[in-house]
Amino acid sequence: MDFEETEQSIPNQKAYDRRQFIESAGKGLLAATVVGGIAPIASAAAEDVDGAAGNPGPMSAAIKVVGPNQHAASEGERTNYATILPKDKRVGYAIVGIGELTLEAILPGFGSAKNAKVVALVSGDPEKARKVAMQYDVPQKNIYNYQNFDNIKNNPEIDAVYIVLPNSMHEEFVIRAAKAGKHVLCEKPMTTSSKSAERMIDACKKAGKKLMIAYRIQYEPNNKEIKNFTREKKYGQVKVISSNNIQNIGDPKQWRLNKALAGGGSLPDIGLYNINTNRYLLGEEPYMVNASIYTTPNDPRFKEVEESVMFQMFFPSGAIANNTCSYGAHNSKHYRCYADNGGWFGMDPAFDYKGLMPEASHAEGKVENKMNPKIQEKDQFALEMDHFSECVIENKTPYTPGEEGLQDQKIMEAIYESARTNKPVQLERIEKLDAFRGTPPTEG
């Protein structure tokens, strides 16, 4: 999703497609070589869906360390143990794209991961890749570029790839990774259209490889607690959700404001959090959406993509979600669920990598009790990588598979259509809860 590493090389022109982007990112690198001159590696046998060439796992090989608990029971639950796979048994990842998100959150997340390790980098900037590899103890022979990416098929250290590229490039690299015999963890949004998402799912199924979309919110413990409040009707039936994801975006030349690379503006980048979190909390799928779009005239940032989207989602239970996403105002990220038995609950701030703050309020007679029921935070990226790694090791369907990403693509397309036609748009009515999700994450 983040790909700042080559922005300086992007020509200042309106139409800039992903092929030009790849070519400029990898300029000067030979398609048949790996940065640093990787030596030929014996071709690995095709991997089965229940394992990878590097033979990670099994989960039963995890090492558990238990320490004494020095706190009274009243001090709350304490995690006094760690269960971690030995390094040689963890799932090895190649990170595709080393921009802002990768450097800020994904690579540091491996430090907290129990089942995952970084073993390779794919980048269009050889010098940057060399430095990052030194920081994270990645062998120089395991640095690839976008042209020779397919050579990862010959590297048995790589079990999976984590794709962190501009949205329009996801499909190509998911398909190439699957053909190379690797499992795929892909940043959100999954891609730029539902048809593209279907091709990605089909390619991974054909190759017998797992595909997971990196919806980190669904693996984060505080959001999970809010989901429990909703599903268990802690304060009654949730009737209304209010959700806002707003930030003031900067450089007009960045790829997020280029429609050929991003596919859209605030909706696929940050509005996706509103959509997916609503679906996650309720476990339901919307049967109708209603939307409007506003873009400030003559703002140089929004020549190609939308600035703000206001949209409603209508669910079978009767719940309505009112959502706003915008690239044009000061940072504000929060959501709140309003129930019918004297209470509301939510998160403010929400959607960030850390510092999330749950909040709740419940009326008892004349007294309204306000709370911040916070659970100890964990690294969101480590949680999602560990879950995917466990799915690879134990041959499970990821909790957020490609089908979860496809559903969000369909909803976003309906939102754009509603805004264009100025009419509500109907979606397929789905009554099943968690219709597109796989195996829930392991507790603890």
What distance in Å separates the CA atoms of residue 67 and residue 99, rounded to the nearest whole number?
Answer: 38
Strands 238-248 and 183-186, sheet pairing: unpaired
How many H helices and E strands in the chain?
12, 17
Q: Are strands 143-144 and 160-163 parallel, antiparallel or unpaired?
A: unpaired
Residues 268 and 368: their CA atoms lie apart, in Å, by 37
Half-sphere exposure at residue 319, Cβ-oriented, CA atoms within 13 angstroms? 27
Distance CA 216, CA 300 (A): 32
Q: How far apart are CA 353 and CA 2, in angstroms?
A: 14
Question: 177 and 152 in contact (C-beta within 8 Å)?
Answer: yes
182 in active site = no
Q: How far apart are CA 274 and CA 408, in angstroms?
A: 10
Opening angle at CA 144, ends 393 and 160, nearest 5: 10
What are the φ and ψ backbone dihedral angles of 240, each rounded to 5 degrees?
Answer: -140, 140
Query: Please, are residues 418 and 311 in contact by the beta-carbon 8 Å criterion?
Result: yes
**Catalytically annotated residue among 117, 153, 188, 224:** 188
Candidates 93, 146, 235, 273; catalytic one: 273
Contact between 349 and 339 under an 8 Å Cβ cutoff? The reply is: no
Torsion, CA 21, CA 122, CA 380, CA 89, rounded to 10: 160
Helix/strand/coil percentages in the chain, nearest 5: 35, 25, 40
CA angle 398, 400, 403 (to 5 degrees): 105
Whether cis (ω within 30° of 0) applies to the bond prior to 286 is: no
Query: Catalytic: 114?
Result: no
List phi, psi (to 5°) of 433.
Answer: -75, 145
Tell me the catalytic residues.
188, 273
